[in-house]
Chains A and B, each alone.
Chain A
Amino acid sequence: MKARVHVMLKDGVLDPQGEAVRHALGSLGFEGVDKVRQGKVIELDLADGTPEETVREMCEKLLANTVIERFDIELV
């Protein structure tokens, strides 16, 4: 089985990289881009039957810094 973890900065935490991407899109002529937030996707190949709770623990201990980031787990 696979799990896909999406890690994003929490709302309210400034994202200078997302802001730079927004500027770059604007300078390429794409209009109406109000906001860009950049995060990361982490794919895990896991032993079948690994509970979502274990993946959650991986996120809390290592994959995300919950001071500034939130995460979503997608089992695929």
Chain B
Amino acid sequence: MRAAVIVFPGSNCDRDMATALTAAGLDVTMVWHKDTDLPAGLDLVALPGGFSFGDYLRCGAIAANSPICRSVKAHAERGGFVLGVCNGFQILTETGLLPGALLRNAGLKYICRTTPLSVATTDSVYTSAYEKGAQISIPIAHHDGNYTADADTVARLQGEDRVAFTYAENPNGSMSDIAGVLSANRRVLGMMPHPERAADERHGGTDGAPFFAHLTQALSDA
């Protein structure tokens, strides 16, 4: 199974993501944002956390229009798997691959702490190793993680079981406590919390490990 991690100027979780994916058994290639093509035969593209382009204009807005993102979009439209964490989630909403948008946190502060999440669906390659409703502790680190969408969109996401994770203690004002959402084909996941920062004993928690543990198997079954 092959994965690419896209690196933008200002990405700062790209190596953490690559480490977690490599540990899960994926063959990982780092891809620079100015490249126009993804490596052939990719199973998964990961958009990492960070502050791409300094969060200028809006978080993820410039990255969403970078050369590589056209290929990432095409990969998703072909039915490829895409994972966006934190800034990666913001980029996915800016490209339109996922609905909604991430606004400034309701409390206006940057929040960096481990927070309890509920696994809202197990019907995705990313969440199939968890029990539905399981509560897990995963770090968040963001200033703009306040998920918003119109009421119809939120109802559709809930009705189609496309909310992947919810906050057990809403830290940022997100509508319906939404922490992560899936695309209609369930192959694109965007989430604000960082499972790659809770995937090794040395991180101080391993609740993110199941996220990656079955990924190789799940991708090959998909």
Chain A interface residues toward B at CB < 8 A? 13-14, 16-17, 20, 61-63, 65, 67-68
Q: How far is A16 from B104 in the complex, measured between Cα atoms in Å? A: 7
Q: Count residues of chain B with CB under 8 A from any CB of chain A.
A: 20
Question: Do most interface residues of chain A lie in helix, strand or loop, or is the interface mixed?
Answer: helix
- Looking at the assembled complex, report how far the CB atom of A69 sits from the nearest CB atom of chain B, in whole angstroms: 8
Number of inter-chain CB pairs below 8 Å: 36
Question: Do most interface residues of chain B lie in helix, strand or loop, or is the interface mixed?
Answer: loop
Q: Across the interface, do A65 and B94 meet the contact criterion of CB distance under 8 Å?
A: yes
- Looking at the assembled complex, report how far the CB atom of B98 sits from the nearest CB atom of chain A, in whole angstroms: 10
Chain B interface residues toward A at CB < 8 A? 57-58, 61-62, 65, 93-94, 99-101, 103-108, 146, 148-149, 173
Q: Which residues of A contact B104 (CB under 8 A)?
A: 16-17
A13 with B58, Cβ < 8 A, contacts A65-B101, A67-B93, A68-B101 known: no
Q: Which residues of A contact B103 (CB under 8 A)?
A: 13-14, 16, 68
Q: Which residues of B contact A17 (CB under 8 A)?
A: 104, 108
Give A62's nearest chain B residue, CB to CB.
Answer: B65
